[in-house]
Amino acid sequence: MMFFPRKKRKGEILHPAPRLPGFAGPHPFPLFLLFLVLFSPSAFADGGTVLAQQTVGPYRITLFGDPTPLRAGPADLSVLVQDAKTLAPVLNQRVEITVSAPAVTDPKAEAWVPPCCSMKKSVTTAEATHAAAQNKLLSAANLVLPASGPHELTVALRPANAPAAEPTLLTARVEIAPPTPPASAYWPYLALPPFLIGGFVLHQRLRRRDDHRA
Amino acid sequence: MNADAASAAFLSWRFEPFVLVGLALSAILYVRGWLRLQRTAPHRFPAWRLQCFLAGLATLFLALASPLDAFASFLLSVHMVQHLLLTMVAPPLLLLGAPYLPILLGLPRRFASEALGPFLKWPALKALGGFLTHPVVAWSLFCLSNVAWHFPAFYELALRSPFWHRVEHACFLGTALLFWWNVVLPFPARARFPRWTVIPYLLLADFQNTALAAFFSFYDRVIYPTYATAPRVSGLSALADQSAAGAIMWVPGSIAFLFPCGLIAVEFLSRKKSAPAPPPRRPTPPPATVPASPAPRFSLNRALPTLRLTLQLLLLALATLVIWDGLTGPQVSAMNAAGVLPWTHWRALSVLALLFVGNLFCFGCPFMLVRDTARRVLTLLRLPHARLGWPLALRNKWLPVALIVTYLWAYESFSLWDRPAATALIILAYFLGAVLVDVTFKGASFCKYVCPIGQFHFVQSLASPAEIRIREPDVCRTCRTFDCIKGNATHRGCELQLFQPKKSGNMDCTFCLDCVTACPQDNVALQPAIPGHDLWNPAPHSSVGRWESRPDLAALVLVLTFGAFANAAGMIAPVQALAPALGLSHLAFTTLFLALTLLLLPLLTTFGAAALTRPHERHPAPLPRTLSAYAIALAPLGFGMWLAHFVFHLGTASHTPIPVFQRLLGLTPDWTIASWASPALVALEILLLDAGFLATLYALWRIAKNRAHHPGRAALPWLLLATALYAFGIWIIFQPMQMRGTLTP
């Protein structure tokens, strides 16, 4: 592996590099390409911030919420269940998350829900599963928080092999922020046409200038 | 952590499509360019460069998709490993691959020279590149980014927000690439300072890294509140985890700086004492080989007819199932094959096929299979058929335009999507219509002059990335038999009268492959094409003519474009609330709404735009000609809206065929099925509409450039019309929509 530019050996003919339009000297073009890879749009991943953490019976239960702060609309809620004594993750529990929201009095507080998710609008209880979580130690579920204001989130744990058993409950009161307007939730996609049009206008100007010079 | 938990932790991968596509695209471009460089400059791009670049991409994948990412918000030490991969491992590996030339050569040649060329030659960008890669600037940016992002306020911000987390990663990777640029000097970069200066360059960076690492290792309080409250999933306390993170930053981080430092020092010192270079090796002639007999080559042309017949048989079987279930099954759209398959899945899959390949619906058209069978039967029975020519007055697109308007009106007025029996009857009528027209009239009159589905696909396939066209023009120049259009003893020629040497684009092409199989020279084939290139082609098209001389085609494009928006608007809550607000019945409101959006609005806006454009034309033509020349460019925008609309239905009703088939097979149907509905579906819809909008703007600009003194001024009214439609489309996407084809109201 060479960190130095290779020196031409005596008598050796080095093939010239292929000529490319406008290349002269270092150019960080590939960097931009890799930047694009990283600027992927935000995805719903489990995790986020800790909303509540409590030891209930034999378990230590941690409830996470994303986005931060939690806003009215689609939210990703996930739960980590640990053994209270050893803190070892417990994976054999059936986890159910329930949101109880106040009645919506202010229409501005009502959530804007992406149209395709409006079928979930009435769903305020969901089973959190390991399959839905990126971090497989967690159980995750996507819920729709119907409005801003104080909400009560309840996590119910039951052994996976005894679904009718008395649940272990964790209850947390959280303040839900007003919903994100659709334009700000999807701004990178809306910004794409003006960005590319700007690039095209610049491209045409540069091309005209090149033609004049030629 | 017990064994179950450990295995669960190791399974915590996240395969985010954008990261995967980005990395795969980078790898494909690099490999493509590297293979080309292997032929021209093999000594500069040996195999180890390829291996380094791919290893760099693999490192990025490991950092962004592996359990490291899943546990980064639980353990600072894991997060530190992720950051080290992004700053110390991936960047030097990527740069050792000298990616500039391979990636540039890996891009399509025309794109690299025409689209990127002006930017690459832009002095301001070159100056920026030179400035950013200057050792002092690159070193400062790298250290600044490393220190700044470790301030608790910024670090916490990144932990709380996915967006800022990505910005943080981009800063780390971007500044690290700039930093390692001066160490690796990827070909064809040149050193700005003597090479020995790289040693202090690296050592100074290591001092900064060591100071930060020592702070993490020895600080007696938890720096980041998130890690103080995060549940402990390992045996480490938050403080011990912080110290471990410091140690990781310190030891492997320092090795990453000191290893190349030592390597450069050794290389630098050994260079002065190096022995004289060995004499150059003469290139050895390639070994003589016995010419092998030509291996049988796979020909797509030969495989396509079989593929077509298979698809036709499959679609015929599905159409039969839909008709039978529609007439005999439950009359609830979500429970019936006639309510699910044609309105949700077939429509979406056929437009996605148009986007990625071409007119695959006409390619696999079941109506044509039945028509051909009927003609064969009549031939066997020696009964006269297909002798009449299609009436001259109807040799245009006005009849399909009227049929499409009628269909869009009937679809919304009578909720056809929710009437399985009516759907079945429509499909049955379609089969009968196709057979009756084509056993009466010559050629493919039904396809060319009647079929509304075919016209829809013809127009949308103008933006497809493939077309049937000739391979070598010279072969056609010497051709005297014209089998592609006239046919021969064994194969029929093009029934839609498209003469291959003069054909351009996909208008009126059913992908039936008659020309492909008829050509004795095997000179006609399915080939890649620049999507939409035909929209701004002013030359006459075989059997179609010039766009400007076809007002019927312009009307077809306008009905399908405005129809895309009207059809999607029909299912959103604000439009549905208008009928009761205006005190109109559903039928009256739908009739009024479609008369306005499909007839009045297109007429007014396009004639207005054409009138404003006309004064700027080089050769002012009558208004309908100007309108026809520009209106064709709106097709991609309509296509984008159809795509967004149909993809929405496909996403929300993705799994609906499962319980329908369970019912048909006599199993117990599970109607509570999942779907692909998610917030990401909205993003996909917007992206598809964006693509259509941008393609329309580009086509308008190209047409104006062909026809006007001042392209900007001439195209402006049309650009504004396209922008208004695009804004309306975005508004529609954000509205509450009916979940048609599902059991959700």
- Which of B40, B96, B280 faces A1 most closely, judged by CB atoms? B96
Among the candidates B498, B517, B536, a domain finishes at: B536
Number of domains in chain A: 1
Chain A and chain B share a number of CB contacts under 8 A equal to 291
B310 contacts: CB under 8 Å, gap ≥ 6: none
For residue A11, the chain B residues in CB contact (below 8 A) are 279-280
The answer to whether the beta carbons of residues B630 and B609 sit under 8 Å apart is yes
Whether A169 is in a domain gets the answer: yes
Torsion of CA B347, B348, B352, B354, to 10 degrees: 10
Is the same domain home to B159 and B258? yes
Q: What is the pLDDT of residue B542?
A: 87
CA-based nearest distance B645→chain A, Å: 11
At A80, list the tokens: 């980590």
**What residue type is B435 in one-letter code?**
V
Q: Are residues B551 and B470 in the same domain?
A: no
Contact of A131 with A148, CB cutoff 8 Å: no
Alpha carbon B99 to chain centroid, angstroms: 24
Residue A15 falls within a domain, yes or no? no
- Residue where one domain finishes, among candidates B269, B288, B309: B269
Domain residue limits at B141: 14-269
Q: Which two tokens stand for residue B33?
A: 């360019």
Residues paired with A71 in a beta bridge = A177
C-alpha span between B151 and B146 (Å, rounded):
9
Residue in chain B nearest A188 by alpha carbon: B683
Q: Is residue B295 part of a domain?
A: no
Domain count, chain B: 3
Residues paired with residue A97 on neighbouring β-strands, in sequence order: A126, A155
Same domain, B522 and B594: no
CB < 8 Å to B11, chain A: 136
Question: What's the number of CA atoms in the CB half-sphere (13 Å) around residue B468?
Answer: 27
Residue A143 maps to a domain: yes
Name the average pLDDT for chain A: 76
Do the domain assignments include residue B624? yes
* A29 located within any domain: no
Which residues face A109 on adjacent strands?
Answer: none
B585 and B631 in a single domain? The answer is yes
B527 and B676: one domain? Answer: no
The verdict on a CB contact (< 8 Å) between A45 and B677 is no
> What's A153's domain CATH number?
2.60.40.10
* Interface contact A22, partner B, CB < 8 A: yes
Q: Is residue B339 part of a domain?
A: no
Q: Are residues B517 and B592 in the same domain?
A: no
Q: Is there a domain that residue B551 lies in?
A: yes
In this predicted model, what pLDDT tens digit does every residue of A21-37 receive, in sequence order?
444 444 555 555 555 55
Same domain, B532 and B614: no
Cis peptide before B279 (omega within 30 of 0): no
Q: Tell me the chain B residues in contact with residue A12 when contact means C-beta distances shorter than 8 Å.
A: 277, 280
Mutant choice from A8, A19, A29, A37 vs B, greatest count of B C-beta within 10 A: A37
Per-10-residue mean pLDDT of chain A, 214 residues long, equals: 44 44 46 52 56 90 89 88 89 89 65 60 76 88 84 90 84 88 87 94 90 80
For position A3, what pLDDT does the model report?
40
Q: Give the end of a domain, one of B536, B564, B581.
A: B536
Residue B600 CB contacts under 8 Å (≥ 6 apart), including other chains: none
Residue A39 lies in a domain: no
Complex ipTM value: 0.85
pLDDT at position A46: 53
DSSP-assigned states of every residue in B270-301: HHHTPPPPPPPPPPPPPPP-PPPPPPPPP-HH
- Low-confidence residues in chain B, pLDDT < 70: 1, 271-300, 740-745
Position B670 in a domain: yes
Query: Do residue B555 and residue B517 come from a single domain?
Result: no
Q: What is the pTM (predicted TM-score) of this model?
A: 0.85
Show the DSSP H helices in B577-678 as ranges. Answer: 578-582, 586-594, 601-613, 623-631, 635-652, 657-664
Residues B479 and B616 in one domain: no
Cβ burial A27-44 (10 Å sphere, 16+ → b, else e): bbbbbebbeebbebbbbb
**Residues of A with Cβ-Cβ distance to B24 under 8 angstroms:** none
**Do residues B453 and B484 share a domain?**
yes
In a domain, B491, yes or no: yes
- Asked whether residue A71 is domain-assigned, the answer is yes
Q: In this structure, how many other beta carbons lie within 10 angstroms of the beta carbon of residue A67?
A: 21
Instruction: Please report whether residue B4 resides in a domain.
Output: no
Q: Verify that B330 and B378 share a domain, yes or no.
A: yes
* Cross-chain residue pair A30–B101, CB shorter than 8 Å: no
Q: For residue range B428-460, list pLDDT tens digits in order.
A: 999 999 999 999 999 999 999 999 999 999 999
Residue numbers of the domain that contains A142: 49-182
A163 touches chain B (CB under 8 A): no
- Are residue B493 and residue B605 in the same domain, yes or no? no
